[in-house]
């Protein structure tokens, strides 16, 4: 999966997928062959962090 480079667009794509298709960030990353830590770091630059209980970045 080609993820957007822009953190705001990345946030939108990841949260939409977490809401609609995946039960966890780990499942999303494994299914799409993307690095979980990279996503977390990129979204932290705009002060969004993964909340496991909500299965989304807030």
Structure tokens belonging to residue 25: 């960030």
Q: What is the per-residue burial (b if ≥16 Cβ within 10 Å, else e) of 23-51?
A: eebeebbeeeeeeeeebeebbeeeebebe
Mean model confidence pLDDT for the chain: 98
For the stretch 23-46, pLDDT in tens is 999 999 999 999 999 999 999 999
Given the structure tokens 């977490």, which residue do they identify? 18
pLDDT range class, residue 48, cuts 50, 70, 90: very high
Average pLDDT of the segment spanning 46-56 = 98
């Amino acid at each position: 999966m080609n993820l957007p480079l822009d953190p705001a667009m990345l946030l939108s794509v990841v949260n939409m997928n977490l809401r609609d298709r995946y039960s966890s960030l780990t499942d999303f990353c494994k299914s799409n062959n993307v690095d979980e830590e990279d996503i977390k770091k990129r979204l932290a630059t705009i002060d969004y962090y993964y909340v496991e209980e909500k299965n989304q970045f807030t």
